[in-house]
Amino acid sequence: MDTLETRELRYFVAVAEELHFGRAAERLGMAQPPLSRAIQQLERRLGVTLLERDRRGVALTAAGEVLLHEARAALDAATAAARRTRRAAQHGDRLVLATKAGASHELLRKLLDAYAAEPEAAEVEVLMCGIGEQARLLREGRADVALVHRPFDDLSGFDTQDLLTEGQVAVMPAGHPLAMRDSLSMAEAAGVPDLPIARWPRLDGSYPPGPGPEVKDQAQMAQLVALGLALIVIPASAYAWLWAEHAAVPVSDAPAVTTTLAWPAHSRSLPLARLVGVAARL
Amino acid sequence: MDTLETRELRYFVAVAEELHFGRAAERLGMAQPPLSRAIQQLERRLGVTLLERDRRGVALTAAGEVLLHEARAALDAATAAARRTRRAAQHGDRLVLATKAGASHELLRKLLDAYAAEPEAAEVEVLMCGIGEQARLLREGRADVALVHRPFDDLSGFDTQDLLTEGQVAVMPAGHPLAMRDSLSMAEAAGVPDLPIARWPRLDGSYPPGPGPEVKDQAQMAQLVALGLALIVIPASAYAWLWAEHAAVPVSDAPAVTTTLAWPAHSRSLPLARLVGVAARL
DNA sequence: CGCTGTCATACCCGGCAGGTATCACCGGAT
DNA sequence: ATCCGGTGATACCTGCCGGGTATGACAGCG
């Protein structure tokens, strides 16, 4: 039938996230009454009740929950369309590659060198971003391709090309008794009484429960470990940034980590295809 | 910056597909001048030339090409949002499963039975569709999940769960000399002088080149083979519809075919998760 | 029993989407 | 050469609808 306007979707997402017409209107830079009316119109057009107005606040219905997810995806697609079009016009074939700070230096170096050696290689701009942000950058059209790590990052909706699979190591102060061992189990790593495992933020930004300190980048981690305050379990290649005060011991039963190239599924860019081809031959 | 309106995207896609403002306007049910103006505004907002107006018709620029793809994806997402929301409101937890006519009867039967045996199983509506249409149904929000076949169908952008991998067989008239063989190679199957291989439409609806007749469904195929006019190579499980006049011989080096469950990557429906869980344990 | 905070209603206004008429331009037939 | 048909662009007008302000209805609460 009729396709929803992005304006309607934007309005609905704001209300669904705030669960409050006044605040949502403020966030949208408009007055509350037109927003109320717009949502009513949306509900009439869909023939669906999206919000339960229960004096004192608003709640999403099941259908509203569905629309919230779908609307976010549709809005991402629309903004990505604009961004990718602008980028295509301004920088022609340039590729933007998103990567986590501090991960897989050597692999990325190899990939970029191999790609640069290709005939007709496009410029590649490397975009450093925070942990777990690559997916958002891809979805919003800010990047063309990203270096991600399974099983940590969310790859749904992307095409992928695996590059390298590796085990994980436990990093601890060099002098620690366990540092002599050839390998550890997760249970052993988690059971060290004076060295709790440091905790990374999850995809949504919250931290898993546990006794260890909360960290948000590798510098913090390195510091904590060197000080003898925590132990960490990370992919073996992240080894590169270790200091003299650190020791690394393989953890035999930790899940393997795969470094993967990911890009939007429907992408048709020729330079991207070339980069993926190079990656596949690494 | 500012996010594109679906109206603008709709207009642009119409013009980009027709490469003709007049026809595009007609298709959109409006007059030509406002459409011209809308496209100009879109170009100004993006700061990008999308169309090369070369008296006598219109051509897409490289950036226009990019926007055409992105806009289609965004429009699909928007219409899918509307449809899925309506479905969620009307039929609650019902699942719509899209499948090719005539493929994988038994496997589907097993899957549906196993799912129905689950506690709190939702209703499942099976939607038969033409060859290669499943992806479109999923993208447009008409179906929640689809039974597809790798490597034939386009799975980009979907999450998947493989169900079954099988070889392919050559189907020919029962009396043919080759029908006695235990297995064939592709070269042998293709080289039978009096039995050219029938040709299927590709994803875009065109046919690959070759001497064999063009077919578009299994009934036509069965008929052609029984009449001794063609030979076909199909997944072993499609065997089910063979007539007495047919013989099937495994083709040793044909690519293996995997029957796979596919669904939109960002889907969060509980009944779907259950169905996938059941499928994984099959 | 007002007071406060919520969302909905009533009413008005201005901008912009869309329509009609027309222009500018080019290619080709005569 | 010249007119004609068909292209997209321009000019101008109009009505609708998106948005603003003022206010109402209603519930919880001190």
Beta bridge partners of B126: B97
pLDDT of residue A152: 82
Nearest to A234 by CA among A195, A193, A260, A198: A198
pLDDT of residue B56: 66
CA distance A243 to chain B (A): 40
Which H, E and C letters describe B7-50, residue by residue? HHHHHHHHHHHHCCHHHHHHHHCCCHHHHHHHHHHHHHHHCCCC
pLDDT for A171 beyond 90: no
Report the C-alpha gap between A276 and A260 in whole angstroms. Answer: 11
Nearest to A69 by CA among B81, B196, B210, B16: B81
> B33 CA to C20 C1', in Å?
10
Instruction: Give the model confidence (pLDDT) of A53-98 as tens digits.
Output: 876 678 899 999 999 999 999 999 999 999 999 999 888 788 999 9
> B58 CA to C30 C1', in Å?
28
Chain B segment 171-230 residues within 8 A of A by beta carbon are: none
- Flag the least confident range among A95-99, A136-140, A154-158: A154-158
User: What one-character DSSP code corresponds to residue A266?
Assistant: T
H or E segment and range at residue A49 = none
Which H, E and C letters describe B162-211, residue by residue? EEEEECEEEEEECCCHHHHCCCECHHHHHCCCCCCECECCCCCCCCCCCC
State whether A84 and B73 contact (CB < 8 Å). Answer: no
Q: What are the b/e assignments for B118-142, b being 16+ CB within 10 Å? A: eeebbebeeeebebbbbbbbbbbbb
List of chain B residues with pLDDT < 70: 1, 55-56, 101-103, 203, 239-242
Phi, psi of A3 (to 5 degrees): -90, 140
> B54 CA to C29 C1', in Å?
22
Instruction: Give the model confidence (pLDDT) of A193-220 as tens digits.
Output: 778 888 877 767 778 887 778 877 777 7
Instruction: Give the model confidence (pLDDT) of B140-173 as tens digits.
Output: 999 999 999 888 888 888 989 999 898 888 888 8
Q: Which residue has tokens 């790609």? A: A115
- When CB atoms are compared, the residue of A6, A75, A81 closest to B67 is A81
Report the C-alpha gap between A119 and B161 in whole angstroms. Answer: 38
Beta bridge partners of A214: A199
At A6 the three-state DSSP class reads helix
Q: Which residue has tokens 């990093």? A: A171
Determine the distance from the C-alpha atom of residue B14 to the mean position of all C-alpha atoms in its chain, rounded to a whole number: 22
Show residues of chain A in contact with B42, CB under 8 Å.
none
Judged on CB neighbours under 10 Å (0-12, 13-18, 19+), A101 is exposed
Average pLDDT score over residue span A249-268: 88
First to last CA, chain B: 48
pLDDT of residue B82: 94
pLDDT of residue B170: 86
Contact between residue A265 and residue B157 where contact means Cβ atoms under 8 Å apart: yes
At A115 the three-state DSSP class reads helix
Contact between residue A51 and residue A61 where contact means Cβ atoms under 8 Å apart: yes
